[in-house]
Chains A and B, each alone.
Chain A
Amino acid sequence: MSADPTPGGAPEPADRTPALDGAGLALAEPPAAAAPRPGAADIEGRSPWQLAWIHVRRDRAAMISLAFILLLALLSVSAPLLAHWIGWSPTDQDRTQGLTVDGLPVGPSGRHLLGTDNLGRDILVRVLYGSQVSLLVGVVSTLLAVAMGVLVGLVAGYFGSAVDTVLSRVMDLVLSFPFLLFAIALVSIFGSSLAISVFVIAFFSWAAVGRIVRGQTLSIREKEYIEAARSLGANDLRIMFVDVLPNLLAPVIVYTTLLIPIAIVFEATLSFLGLGVVPPSPTWGNMLSDSLDFYQVAWWFPLFPGLALLLTTLAFNLLGDGVRDALDPRAERLFQD
């Protein structure tokens, strides 16, 4: 909660690519083709990844975001320790001093630094614990989605024809699913839990990755070096995972960083609707949901979980932007100094 990337304050690189799109993400050439131009010979032996890292490091917004995310991860891991030190567990109900007689939350004070919620629970501790759920769901569901998306996209793009048609229609189907209706139906059948949340989010995210990967694979498989590999006797599996996959890493990494904040908001949406993690576990989404009845009389109640959600998604988005700029070969400054 302490680091604030203040997006307005960070100067935008002048030549930043304006928007995310599938084509702009791709490394159109294999890494070998990204050779330094003549005259840059004094820059020795830097791989494109090193160059990308150098670029990201110069991007202040991305670095502040990264710092924020690392700090958040640290806070989230140490939440139990911090809660012990603050003196409240996330489920402790301070009914005598954390609530008014009429059941209204009590504002920030020495006793509760960020105030209390509708059951007299400490908002600071709950926001800290909430970050565990947000990060866990954000990261795990994104990894699942990316793994599935890459696999399906790769197979569809590489084999083409009937396989491509079937898998592409499946992706279209998933993309056309009404997310919330599906989530409500699933939760009604299986009951709400962390695992269901992760599954639902992953299920609705993989198809977008799959489409991008498929498109890239379609173009990569026509490259000469793929032909070369094939003439050397490499089988499909080897070509897919050894020759094609590494060339997909850049767009996949960029998409992953941008998918995490979407997954975090998905989770918050599910929790907000009471379909996410089971109470009393705090999540930013269910805290916001609880605060609905009180926003007019207790500003701190929606503010802090809302701010945590806002800053976290902003940080991931800015970091994702930075990573994309760094990995996109069309952003020429990769090679300028």
Chain B
Amino acid sequence: MPRTPRRTRTLALGAMLTTVALAAAGCSSGKPAPGPSQGTSSDNAANINATGQPVKGGTLKLIGSGDVDHLDTASGYYTATYTLERAYTRQLFTYPASTDPTKSTTIVPDLATEIPTTANNGISADGLTYTVHLRPDAMWDTSPARAVTAQDEVLGMKRLCNPTPNAVGAPGYYEGVIAGFQQYCDGFAKVSPTIPAIKAYIDGHDISGIKAVDATTVQFTLVKKANDFLNILAMPFSSPAPVEYLNYLPDDANFRSHTISDGPYAITSYTANQSIKLDRNPAWTKASDPARDAYVDHITVTEGQDEGPVQQQLQAGTADMQWDTTVPTASVPALKATKDPRLGVYPSGSTNPFLVFNEQSPSNQGALGKVAVRQALEYAVDKVAIGQIYGGPTLNTPLGQAIPPGSLGYEKYDAYPTPGSKGDPAKCKSMLAAAGYPNGLVLKDLARNAGKHPAVAQSVQADFKACGVTTQIVPVSQGDYYGKYLNLPSAAKAGSWDITEPGWVPDWFGNNGRANLEPLFDGRNYGPGSTDWGDYNSPAFNALLDQAMTAPDQATAESLWHQADQQVMKDAAIIPFETQNDAMFRSSRVHNAIFELFSQNYDVTEVWLSPGS
């Protein structure tokens, strides 16, 4: 399965969040988040090939299919882009490279000197003001090299909602959270997308909630408390930007050939859809960077190869790492059978696919609006069979809940258990009859017409048939799937679809309710672009959501998120199928391959290559 870029899965997320009244409060306690805890992959978690003494040097060769979506941190939203941004950008906070799932989803300082807390006066008593101190020794690769300052951080934030098509992909994480951000962006939207106009607006307007107190101190003021604010600052969107970036239109072709780096590597060559080359950034020092080791001298990305040829090249050793593809699922069993040490299987933290009920659908006299009907159908699906489509139990674990492992609030339970997770058609049938539909239902299943999606729809079709429910598959292209159907309440209300099987990868892991349950199930702001596709709207859930976001600490939030999950499942808003693992393959000369959830790839700054290879 080629990895779906983050952006396509969360396409509508940003639009949705702009309209959401975020009821977040409390503060980030920095407590460890629960990590992915899947037994199936624990043996592979240790498979990093760390044997030997790390050596510097060599060229790490990545190979894959497509290009980055953007090189500008303001808009880069693909996981592949994140893989590279790890090398040439830095943020105030980041996630460390670690095989310990708890550590790898817990924020650490990057450009900041420490994690702000109320104890160190980083967070004000009311939880609304965050003061972040920057380390003085992080440098841009300008000539002469110049320190990364608080002003650069402010500029990075001010560029986010620029009036070009290359604006931030998820404005909602900022607009409803930081004071003055919404007003600043509303004004920016009216500016013509030219270099002088953008520069003039940025120079002439400030975001009231973001202030450079001095060169190394930046202060954020929030509209409401947000106990995940540091997670937001750890997103690459929140990277600082050098003042030189004002000389370009955000992420245009000229920009892409003039990126400026504060990470250990700098982009020295970029050819769209063909190749990217990074060399060491001479301005970077290990002493200034607690999160990256930067062992290899060069990183190259070669694009234009599908997952099959990529796999062949990796096995032949002519390339080292995947760029944006995964191991073809059909190849995994053979590699696993031979215990190939170059194969790594890692939890992706996703819930993919899952079934969404269109609760507004008028078909079958609005049957899907009834909880009892949806609850009956929860028992219908053979989740093991769905897992087989995606490569079987090595790569899939049946999921019984809305929160996948890797996210705060995950607890292993199955709200609708069936024998071996293989479905219970008899129970489904009897419950459906009890709900008033002894003759079953006729449902339209909206399915994308490529990849594994048709197979999933046909598997569900067979399962539902056993329960007396007829499904008609409505095949649509990937482009139309969101644009013409899921993002449009009118399509849902008209009954263009009754059920559908999308997937979801949270934008970050750990304390991520804002990037997970909230966009998927908060029905209070249902409208065009909403990712609560089925228009689930439960006052009980909404109350729990608000409490979780305002929870004073992460432990309290964790229990509230779990309760919210239980509420979603009790209301049977979705049928969760699987959480998936990514099958990664690397050449034998790659050492210290540490899988990073955030980019769904190995951390390129931690890899070192066999000497003399």
Interface residues of A (CB under 8 A from B): 91, 93, 95, 99-104, 118-119, 184, 188, 191-192, 273-275, 278-280, 286, 290, 293-294, 296-298
On chain B, the residues within 8 Å of A298 by CB distance are 330
Partner of B392, one of A102, A188, A286, A296: A102
Asked if B462 lies at the interface with its beta carbon under 8 angstroms from chain A, I say: yes
From A95, A99, A275, give the contact of B449 (CB < 8 A): A275
A314 to B382, CA, bound (A): 42
- Judge whether B329 and A293 touch: CB under 8 Å: yes
* Structural contact, B455 and A184, CB atoms closer than 8 A: no
Q: A47 CA to B461 CA in the complex, in Å?
A: 57
Chain B, residue nearest A298 (CB) = B330
Residues on A with beta carbons closer than 8 Å to the beta carbon of B449: 192, 273-275
Q: Which of B328, B455, B484 contacts A118 (CB 8 A)?
A: B455
Q: How far is the CB of B380 from chain A (nearest CB, A)?
A: 14
From B334, B388, B474, give the contact of A103 (CB < 8 A). Answer: B388
Contact A279 B475 (CB under 8 A): yes
Tell which of A101, A273, A280, A297 touches B461, judged by Cβ atoms closer than 8 Å. Answer: A280
- CA of A254 to CA of B394, assembled, Å: 55
Report chain A residues within 8 Å CB of B476: 188, 191
Max chain B CB contacts within 10 Å: which of A91, A95, A102, A296? Answer: A102
**Which residues of B are interface residues toward A (Cβ below 8 A)?**
308, 328-334, 382, 384-385, 387-394, 447, 449-450, 454-455, 457-459, 461-462, 472-477, 480, 484
Determine the distance from Cα of A279 to Cα of B474 in the docked complex, in whole angstroms: 9
Minimal beta-carbon separation of B465 from chain A (angstroms): 8
Q: CB-CB < 8 A to A100: which residues of B?
A: 333, 392
11 A-B pairs, CB-CB below 8 angstroms?
A101-B392, A104-B333, A191-B474, A192-B475, A278-B472, A278-B475, A279-B447, A280-B458, A293-B330, A294-B330, A296-B330
Nearest neighbor of A296 in chain B, beta-carbon distance: B330
Q: How far is the CA of A91 from the CA of B473 in the complex (A)?
A: 13
Would A293 and B328 count as touching, CB distance under 8 A?
yes
CB < 8 Å: which of B388, B450, B474 contacts A102? B388
For B389, give the chain A residue with the smallest CB separation: A103
Residue of A nearest to B386 (CB): A103
Our pick among A102, A188, A279, A293 for the contact of B394 (Cβ within 8 Å) is A102
Q: Which one of A102, A184, A279 contacts B458 once the chains associate, using CB atoms below 8 Å?
A: A279
Instruction: Looking at the assembled complex, report how far the CB atom of B443 sits from the nearest CB atom of chain A, in whole angstroms.
Output: 14
In the complex, what's the smallest C-beta–C-beta distance from A279 to chain B, in angstroms? 5
Q: Which chain B residue shows the least CB distance to A118? A: B455
Residues of B close to A103: CB separation below 8 A:
329, 387-392
Minimum CB distance partner of B448 in chain A: A274
Whether the pair A99, B388 counts as a contact (CB closer than 8 A) is yes
Contacts of B391 in A (CB 8 A): 102-103
Contacts of A296 in B (CB 8 A): 308, 328, 330-331
With the chains together, A168 CA to B328 CA distance in Å?
Answer: 49
Closest 5 CB pairs of A and B: A274-B449, A103-B388, A102-B392, A102-B333, A103-B392
Residues of A within 8 A of B382 (CB): 95
* Smallest Cβ-Cβ distance to B461: which chain A residue: A280
User: Are B331 and A297 interface neighbours, CB within 8 A?
Assistant: yes
Chain A residues positioned under 8 Å from B457 (CB to CB): 279
Complex Cα gap A292–B447 (Å):
19
Return the chain B residue nearest A121 by Cβ.
B458
Residues of B within 8 A of A93 (CB): 385, 458-459, 462
- Distance in Å: Cβ of B204 to nearest Cβ of chain A: 45
Looking at B334, B388, B389, B459, the one whose CB has the most chain A CB atoms below 10 A away is B388
Are B389 and A119 touching (Cβ within 8 A)? yes
Determine the chain A residues whose CB is within 8 A of the CB of B394 once the complex forms.
Answer: 102
| Extra pairs beyond A100-B333, A101-B388, A188-B477 (9, CB < 8 Å) | A91-B461, A91-B462, A103-B390, A192-B475, A278-B475, A279-B454, A279-B457, A279-B473, A296-B308
The minimal Cβ–Cβ distance linking B51 to chain A, given in whole angstroms, is 29
- Which chain B residues lie closer than 8 Å to A102 at the CB level? 332-333, 388, 391-394
Complex contacts, B474 vs chain A, CB 8 Å: 191, 278
Give the residues in chain A near B389, CB-CB below 8 Å: 103, 118-119
Whole-angstrom CA separation of A286 from B475 in the bound complex: 13
- In the assembly, what is the distance between CA of A91 and CA of B457, in Å? 12
**Which residue of B is nearest A297, CB measured?**
B330
Q: How far is the CA of A293 from the CA of B455 in the complex (A)?
A: 12
On chain A, the residues within 8 Å of B390 by CB distance are 103
Closest B residue, CB atoms, query A184: B477
A274 vs B476: C-alpha distance when bound (angstroms): 8
Residues of A contacting B458 in the complex (Cβ-Cβ under 8 angstroms)? 91, 93, 119, 279-280
List the B side residues contacting A290 at CB < 8 Å: 454-455
B390 and chain A: residue at smallest CB distance = A103
- Asked whether, in the complex, the Cβ of A274 is within 8 Å of the Cβ of B454, the reply is yes
Q: Which residue of A lies closest to B384 (CB)?
A: A95
Q: How far is the CA of A192 from the CA of B450 in the complex (A)?
A: 13
Complexed CA–CA distance, A296 and B450 (Å)? 19
Chain B nearest CB from A281 CB (Å) reads 10
Chain A residues whose CB sits within 8 angstroms of the CB of B462 once the complex forms: 91, 93, 119
User: Closest approach, in angstroms, between the C-beta of B560 and any C-beta of chain A?
Assistant: 37
A104 CB contact (under 8 Å) in B330, B475, B480: B330
